[in-house]
Structure 1
Amino acid sequence: MRLIAVILVLLMPTTALAQDSGFRLAVPAVLEQSGFMQHIVPRFSLKHGIRITRVADTDFADARLGAEGVSVFAGLGQVWALQHDGHAGAAKFANWLRSEVGRNTIAAFQKDGAALFTSDVAPAVAKVQISFEGDPVQGEKLSFAHCGRCHVINETNRMKGMGATPSFGMLRTLGDWENRFATFYVLNPHPSFTQVADITPAFDPSRPPAIVPVEITQDEIEAILAYVATLAPADLGAPIQSQ
């Protein structure tokens, strides 16, 4: 009898822990009726020994599936998120849904041979159209006047740029092209011969520019940016492949 009593005492903390880890999950009717929860919940509970009691989304619950919280899967025309109050079991459920096993389990649910849910819930990145306040027509003229001695601006001066200097089209392929054009006067070799009104310091009299200086204003730089934004990035072709 004493041995049985000791065994019961040892088992009590484990039983209490298992009971504490279970939680109530509020599930919207449309999600419950899809059959998806009957697919997901038993597989999680079998893996982790955590009992989930599904209730209506109007009932008291430790965690809720809906629009608020951590996004865990998408389906039925929306992204579903799990919200909880820090309950250990609910937190483990959220982590499991985003794990490789959970993601595979989500993808495995099908009806009539078609998957209804996906774990791919990354938000779509909107493509931002970059625009500048300057006049692109004026910007083209200024580009030829200030930059055309070194850079190929477009087809008009295709044969007149310096061979080692990138064309405007090539510069447009760079992810930070707008920053490069907006601050070109601090990028070598431009500081040695460029003056931007009210921005750059005067040249050191003991070190005059070796070529005719570029004297430009901030408004003119804005116009050049507006023009460059209209250019298509150069087609650099496919990367060279070695065999």
Structure 2
Amino acid sequence: MRIVKYICSVILLVTSLSYTNAEERIVTISAPNSLIASGFFDYIIPRFKLKTQISVKLVTDSAMIAISKNSGRAFLQMGDIEFKIDIVEENNYSERFFNWLKSDVGRKTISSIQENDEPVFVSLEIEEVATRQVRLSGDAKLGLKQSQQKCARCHVVEKGRKNSIGSTPSFFALRTFDDWDLRFSGFYLLRPHPAFTIIPDVTEPFDDSRPAPIVPIELDLNELQAIIAYVQNIPPADLGEPVKHQ
């Protein structure tokens, strides 16, 4: 009997630790009250989660995805109101939600929301960002060294390395974005980087009452330019063709 109790205790402990260490699969979204009250999210969230096993949480600030009437790319129309979407924090979960919205399945899901046998929403085709030619100067060799020292604890920065944190995208995945250089140039403004990044004469000093949660990363603008020059020379990740549904 004691052995059985011991085994059960071990199983419960392992299960508890596994649950605690499991990465939370969630995307946070901010949206106008009018869209929330319309029932749009009540309808699409369960279907998105069923498809991806990713939860969606509606928040008022610090969202991974911001939906508004003013900024971003138009993706949805409700009556005369056009809603736009903007990815504020790039990670696997925000990208999955964005890609689901513009997929055939996502658009058909939106179009299936009806009231009195009439569609409530019109799913708009999301415009692709125009491809830009980027030519940057900088020491790419120094950029690799700086990336290894200051970025590799969270991101995969070179081939053959697989250590990264959870849903943190690799440099190769980030390189697939048409505006990748802008994302890298202003990375210190994008969550979670402001909490632990120091760029002299650019970022504000940390508040003594709110110290950095991890050992801060410090680099100057020349080192940042070198990192961007390095990333310019790496191949974008091959993410494959979008899934097509018949």
TM-score (norm 1): 0.46
TM-score, normalising length from structure 2?
A: 0.45
